[in-house]
């Protein structure tokens, strides 16, 4: 049986009297690019922290690949790019990745092979020896993404991965996400760049005030409620009447029907 | 006008034709995810206010 990559049941987190996440039940199958959308303060970051076992839920359960998220064998399958990654700016790019690779438990031999691949993937192959203190914000974001992919994760959490990137950098991240998806990776994407979410995600959840208010496929969301502008030479009352059978808000604007 | 599904669009064109009108424009404008996001989030906030 294939377990979902992410499964939560009635997840709740309270900080004192403040309820950050109210009652969150969610399932993300393996191989899906899942968008997690909502306004600031909606409970997105708290949810991600609970999914990663960085914050313990007040009640409810989380499972990643059918197992509780704190276990070492589960952590080994997960990559994470936080929104505000604290970089060791005195390290060179390759040293930074070597350090994080060691934290993942990867061997030096593996990392010597893996690091150049990742630097190349994120467009930083020529900056391997550069100290992170000399990196631009966009370059830091890309090295952060490389860090999240070091351990060949099966599930990767990307929190605002295109924040601070110029349009070319954003396209590069989008291409990387497509590539990861084609390799079967599950991607949990938290982003305010909705045009990119629209292109990238298979399914999205909208969260507001600690609760999921809607989960749907991108295809369903975009395929409904289409506005139609109709311009004809003569719009007869019969024609308007017929249009109104589809839509009660058909409005005549001169010879245009909107 | 807002239609629930794009399958209705060819029917609109047929209707105009049957009514004997000349069609100059029939433009479906799909909502962007940003517009959908605003609708859903504002809608859920309003529901919350209504309940109180």
Most confident of A2-11, A178-187, A217-226: A2-11
Residues of B in contact with A232 (CB under 8 A): 16, 21-24
List the one residue out of A15, A6, A70 whose CA is nearest residue A36.
A6
Residues of A in contact with B30 (CB under 8 A): 222-223, 226
**Do A115 and A176 reside in the same domain of the chain?**
yes
Domain count, chain A: 2
Mutate which of B10, B11, B37 to disrupt the A interface (most A C-beta within 10 Å)? B37
Q: What pLDDT is attached to residue A74?
A: 92
pLDDT digits (tens, 9 = 90+) for B10-33: 888 888 888 888 888 888 888 889
Pick the residue from chain A with its C-alpha nearest to B35: A194
**Do A16 and A115 reside in the same domain of the chain?**
yes
- Distance (Å, whole) CA A254 – CA A43: 46
Mutate which of A40, A218, A231, A249 to disrupt the B interface (most B C-beta within 10 Å)? A231
**Do A26 and A91 reside in the same domain of the chain?**
yes
Q: Which domain holds residue A33?
A: 6-224
Q: What pLDDT is attached to residue A129?
A: 94
Residues of B in contact with A214 (CB under 8 A): 40
A 178-197 residues with CB < 8 A to B: 194-195, 197
Q: Is A204 contained in some domain?
A: yes
Mean pLDDT computed over A47-65: 95
* Nearest-by-Cβ selection for A232 from B8, B24, B34: B24
Across all residues in chain A, what is the average pLDDT?
A: 89
- A246 and B4 in contact by Cβ < 8 A? yes
pLDDT digits (tens, 9 = 90+) for A212-231: 999 999 988 887 767 788 88
Q: Is A31 contained in some domain?
A: yes
Pick the residue from chain B with its C-alpha nearest to A237: B19
Residues β-bridged to residue A159:
A190
- Distance (Å, whole) CA A159 – CA A123: 20
Q: Does A216 touch chain B (CB under 8 A)?
A: no
**Do A205 and A164 reside in the same domain of the chain?**
yes
Q: Which of these ranges, A88-97, A184-193, B37-46, has the smallest mean pLDDT?
A: B37-46
- Distance (Å, whole) CA A63 – CA A72: 13
**Do A117 and A141 reside in the same domain of the chain?**
yes
**Do A213 and A231 reside in the same domain of the chain?**
no
Q: Is A1 contained in some domain?
A: no
**Do A218 and A246 reside in the same domain of the chain?**
no
**Do A229 and A219 reside in the same domain of the chain?**
no
Mean pLDDT computed over A98-105: 93
**Do A48 and A136 reside in the same domain of the chain?**
yes
**Do A57 and A34 reside in the same domain of the chain?**
yes
Kindly write down the DSSP assignment for every residue of A24-38, as one continuous string. EEEEE-TT-EEEEE-
pLDDT digits (tens, 9 = 90+) for A184-218: 999 999 988 898 899 899 999 999 999 999 999 99
Tell whether the model's pLDDT for residue A256 goes beyond 80.
Answer: no
What CATH code is carried by the domain that includes residue A88?
A: 3.40.50.300
In Å, what is the CA distance from A119 to each residue of A30, A112, A142, A167, A234? 26, 11, 9, 19, 62
More confident residue, A223 or A106: A106
Q: Is A114 contained in some domain?
A: yes
Residue A26 has, within 13 A of its CA and on its CB side, a CA count of 33
Q: Is A108 contained in some domain?
A: yes
**Do A178 and A244 reside in the same domain of the chain?**
no
Question: Residue A206 has which token pair?
Answer: 């909208």
**Do A82 and A170 reside in the same domain of the chain?**
yes
Residues of B in contact with A216 (CB under 8 A): none
More confident residue, A233 or A75: A75
């Amino acid at each position: 049986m294939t377990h979902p990559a992410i499964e939560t049941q009635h997840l709740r987190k309270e900080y004192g009297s403040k309820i950050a996440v109210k009652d969150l039940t969610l399932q993300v199958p393996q191989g899906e690019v899942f968008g997690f959308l909502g306004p600031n303060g909606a409970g997105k970051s708290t949810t991600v922290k609970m999914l990663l076992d960085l914050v313990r839920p007040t009640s409810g359960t989380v499972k990643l690949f059918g197992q509780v998220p704190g276990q070492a064998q589960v952590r080994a399958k997960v990559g994470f790019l936080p929104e505000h990654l604290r970089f060791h700016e005195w390290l060179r790019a390759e040293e930074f990745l070597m350090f994080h690779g060691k934290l993942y438990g990867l061997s030096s031999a593996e990392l010597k092979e893996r690091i150049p691949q990742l630097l190349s993937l994120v467009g930083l192959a020529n900056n391997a020896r550069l100290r992170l203190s000399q990196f631009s914000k966009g370059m830091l974001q890309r090295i952060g993404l490389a860090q999240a992919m070091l351990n060949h994760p099966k599930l990767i959490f990307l929190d605002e991965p295109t924040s601070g990137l110029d349009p070319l950098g954003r396209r590069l991240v989008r291409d990387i996400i497509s590539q990861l998806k084609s390799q079967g990776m599950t991607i949990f994407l938290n982003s305010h760049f909705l045009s990119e979410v629209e292109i990238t995600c298979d399914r999205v959840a909208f969260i507001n005030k600690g609760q999921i208010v809607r989960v749907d496929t991108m295809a369903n969301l975009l395929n409904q409620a289409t506005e139609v502008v109709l311009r004809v030479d003569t719009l007869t009352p019969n024609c308007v009447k017929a249009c109104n059978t589809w839509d009660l808000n058909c409005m005549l604007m001169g010879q245009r029907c909107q | 006008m807002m239609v629930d599904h794009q399958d209705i669009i060819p029917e609109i064109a047929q209707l105009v034709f049957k009514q004997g009108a000349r069609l100059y424009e029939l433009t479906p404008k799909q909502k962007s995810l940003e517009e959908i996001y605003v609708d859903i989030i504002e809608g859920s906030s309003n529901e919350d206010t209504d309940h109180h």
